[in-house]
Amino acid sequence: MGDHPSLNVEALLEKGRSIPAPAFIAAMFVLPLCGCPINLFLIVAGTRFGFGNGFLLTACAMVFHHLLAYRIAHARPRSWLLQRLERWGYKVPVLSRGHQVRWTALFAAIYGPPYAAKLYLLALTDIPPRVYLWVGMPVYLLFAIPSLAFGHALETESILWIMGVLIAVLVILPWIRRRFGRRESEGKGGVA
């Protein structure tokens, strides 16, 4: 076939280390808003900066992502986009004030949809910015911990980091889903 370099963990780690820190940080702040998978940045951040500094960098980047995504979603084209969605048969749900926190946490905790899509879709609703930021961002940050820890573990070659974080996540995330999901399934919550 072709002369493609083989991909291995060592080569990926070396590539992550070779990117100048300011360029990496700028890319981490901008590219996830354009749809680039954030997990790539999280793993490299854990490798490059360690778990603690990588976590701090991730928190700052996610605050920036939330603020900018909310601003973009509420810019001039918002009404045009909402009209276009309705014409295509879709409607952005209107969440009653009492259910905004619950739905924000639950939506952020859903694993699967891309990070950028979840940011923009949630921002299109009428959720106030304080709920959008202070409820959604901590949930996304919680989901970032395994990737940061994995990157850090790759750098330090410590399997205990990976095992400890995975155990913590396996306990905490189901609790969040039960806590917020139970209320919705019991009919106490919902889109109103």
- In order along its 192 residues, the chain shows pLDDT tens digits of 445 556 566 776 777 788 899 999 999 999 999 999 999 899 999 989 999 999 999 999 999 999 999 999 988 777 887 888 888 988 878 888 888 998 899 889 888 899 999 999 899 888 999 999 999 999 999 989 888 988 888 777 777 767 777 777 778 777 777 776 655 555 554 444
Residue 166: predicted pLDDT? 74
Residue 192 lies in a domain: no
Residue 133 lies in a domain: yes
Single-letter residue type at 180 = F
- How far apart, in whole angstroms, are the C-alpha atoms of residue 176 and residue 181? 8
- How far apart, in whole angstroms, are the C-alpha atoms of residue 126 and residue 148? 32
- How far apart, in whole angstroms, are the C-alpha atoms of residue 156 and residue 141? 22
Closest CA to 123 of 62, 70, 68, 63: 70
**Whose structure tokens read 């919705």?**
184
Do the beta carbons of residue 189 and residue 99 sit within 8 Å? Answer: yes
- How far apart, in whole angstroms, are the C-alpha atoms of residue 21 and residue 18? 9
Residue 154: predicted pLDDT? 79
Output the pTM of the full model. Answer: 0.77
Backbone torsions φ then ψ of 154, nearest 5 degrees: -65, -40
Number of domains forming the structure of the chain:
1
**Whose structure tokens read 């996610």?**
62
Residue 191 lies in a domain: no
Residue 1 lies in a domain: no
Residue 53: predicted pLDDT? 97
Structure tokens at 2: 């072709």
- For 97, which DSSP code? G
CA 174 to chain centre: 17
* Host domain of residue 130: 9-185
Residue 92 lies in a domain: yes
Residue 21: predicted pLDDT? 95
Residue 3 lies in a domain: no
Residue 2 lies in a domain: no
